[in-house]
Structure 1
Amino acid sequence: MTAVLPTLAVTLSATIALSDLYARRVPNKWLAAALLLAIAATVLPWIGGITPLAWPSLTGFAIGLTAMLPFYAIGWMGAGDVKLFATLGFLLGTRALLPIWVIACLMTGIHAFAILMFRLPRIAYAPGIAMMRQHLYALPLWQRALHARQGRAGQPHAAYLGMATIFVVLHPEWMHWGQP
């Protein structure tokens, strides 16, 4: 695989991670643009007589989509998370999906655990935690983020998928993790 598709995956992942952390949004336009750029990057050199790039993985797209759809169907995951995972499968192939999924799920689990811990009465009302929470909620950036989220709540799983993708692309040996 040439560097074009992993670079596209890292760029998409970074922008999606920021968007999901800030507004809990995974813009469809960004996903569609990444898919179209990946297709163009593989087709245009071939038309010009240059050696074509390796085709993006339709199998990776299908596996990414079908692996996450059940979680969307039962309400554990947003549609943007599913579409992002499918797009990452298209850009990076099937080998990247398992390590990305495992790393992202661990990060989401740690985030969920931290939220649960801070909601325990003993911890949530501890003087330092209560003061930290008041200062955080008063920050203009926090207020803008809450407004941008328009009431959307939940874990920023797409952000963690993006962070995991960046890690896996920077450490390609992880793409062979769990495989003979």
Structure 2
Amino acid sequence: MSMIFLAWLCISAVCDARYRKCFNYLSVSGLGLAFITAFLFPEASPVRISVEGAFLGCFLAFSVLLVFYFFGMMAAGDVKFAVALGAWLGWELLLLVWALSCGFAVAHGFIVRSHLKYFFSPAIDWDDGTQKNKRRFIPYVTYLSMATVIVLMLNK
């Protein structure tokens, strides 16, 4: 199941980085696989959490990130992905993943908004993530996925 979890993280990260969107089928499939794993194969889970831990991780992710969604600071796909991620990781590791992914998102914002992006790679035509109505979107699902991999590597 760890390889399926890693594949789900990679596919979600690439879709969010490329299209600036986390598709519903990714979030729903991740949530379903997390609960199937927690119910039927708890020893095969990447972090071996209980069903109660999975529910608590979902509830924590939903309740906290829904506030950011209502204020327009986060997209609905990010919230849905975080709920699925909470089911996989539980609330303890989810807090570490949030902290690290917020650091990645802040660094992304600083680099894209400043002229530092041309220092890192002057030959690349940087896409600043401008979407409809000239709003900029940070690929937060990508940063959640990267932070998850880092936290799981350091947790072992």
Question: TM class, shorter-chain normalised?
Answer: 0.7 to 0.9
- 1:45 is displaced (CA, Å) by 5.7
Give the TM-score normalised by structure 2. 0.78
Amino acid at match of 1:81: D
Pair 105,87 (structure 1): closer, same or farther in 2 beyond 3 Å: same
Amino acid at match of 2:32: L
2:37 matches 1:41: yes
2:109 maps to which residue?
112
Pair 159,45 (structure 1): closer, same or farther in 2 beyond 3 Å: closer
For residues 9 and 29 of structure 1, the distance between their equivalents in structure 2, rounded to whole angstroms, comes to 15
For residues 165 and 21 of structure 1, the distance between their equivalents in structure 2, rounded to whole angstroms, comes to 16
Amino acid at match of 1:89: G
Please, which runs of 5 or more residues in structure 2 have no aligned partner? 43-48
1:65 maps to which residue?
62
For residues 116 and 20 of structure 1, the distance between their equivalents in structure 2, rounded to whole angstroms, comes to 19
Select the structure of larger CA radius of gyration. Answer: 1
RMSD of the alignment, in Å?
A: 3.0
For residues 40 and 124 of structure 2, the distance between their equivalents in structure 1, rounded to whole angstroms, comes to 49
- 1:7 is displaced (CA, Å) by 4.3
1:158 maps to which residue?
141
Count of residue pairs the alignment pairs up: 145
Give the TM-score normalised by structure 1. 0.68
Amino acid at match of 1:137: D
Larger RCO: Structure 1 or Structure 2 (Cα < 8 Å, ≥ 6 residues apart)? 1
- 1:44 is displaced (CA, Å) by 4.7
Note if contact 2:31-2:83 (Cα within 8 Å) is conserved in structure 1.
no
Amino acid at match of 2:54: S
Percent identity over the alignment is 26
2:154 matches 1:171: yes
Pair 42,74 (structure 1): closer, same or farther in 2 beyond 3 Å: closer
- 1:43 is displaced (CA, Å) by 4.2
Please, which runs of 5 or more residues in structure 1 have no aligned partner? 47-52, 174-180
2:9 matches 1:13: yes
